[in-house]
Amino acid sequence: MPLLALLAAFALSPPAAQVPAQPALTEAIAARDAALFGLMFNGCDPAALTALVTDDMEFYHDKGGLMGHDAFVADYAKSCAAKRAPDAWRSRRELVAGTLKVYAIPGFGAVEEGAHVFYERKGDGPERLAGKARFSILWKLGADGQWRMARTFSIDHAAAP
């Protein structure tokens, strides 16, 4: 009887994500990367951020430790509010050309890795290169066809030379 129940549960479960082949996979992940980081650095929409991440999302940062979904969205909302001040620090992220790599995880999604640099400016002041880092993101392809960030490793942060 337990085998029959297991087979029934399997038959009723949603189909596994159909991860696209290359180069479509890299194109899809590059677009999600641009959407995520565009929102993080240029937007201020916690609801949109929530839609880009899984409910159990985990963010690992070599300077700040582990942050779960709720803390991640709350931290984003707090920084949104702070950026409204005329003299606030503003940052910009730029993906380093040629560093983006995407690997399929069949039935689940993909892993993205790369390097990025960060620029900052205070208020309307001049922008300067502030630092660099590497990252790995596990993207989950949902049954609805949407890619969502599930796990992130933000590592090797260093100040600009």
pLDDT digits (tens, 9 = 90+) for 22-31: 999 999 999 9
Q: What is the pTM of this model?
A: 0.88
Backbone angles phi and psi of 54, in degrees to 5: -75, 160
Q: Using the predicted structure, report yes or no on whether residue 148 has a pLDDT greater than 50.
A: yes
Q: What percent of the chain has pLDDT over 70?
A: 90
Q: How far is CA 146 from CA 6, 140, 149, 150, in A?
A: 28, 8, 10, 12
In CATH terms, the fold of domain 18-159 is Nuclear Transport Factor 2; Chain: A, (3.10.450)
pLDDT band at 3 (very low <50, low <70, confident <90, very high): very low
Report whether pLDDT(35) > 60.
yes
pLDDT digits (tens, 9 = 90+) for 5-28: 444 444 444 555 799 999 999 999
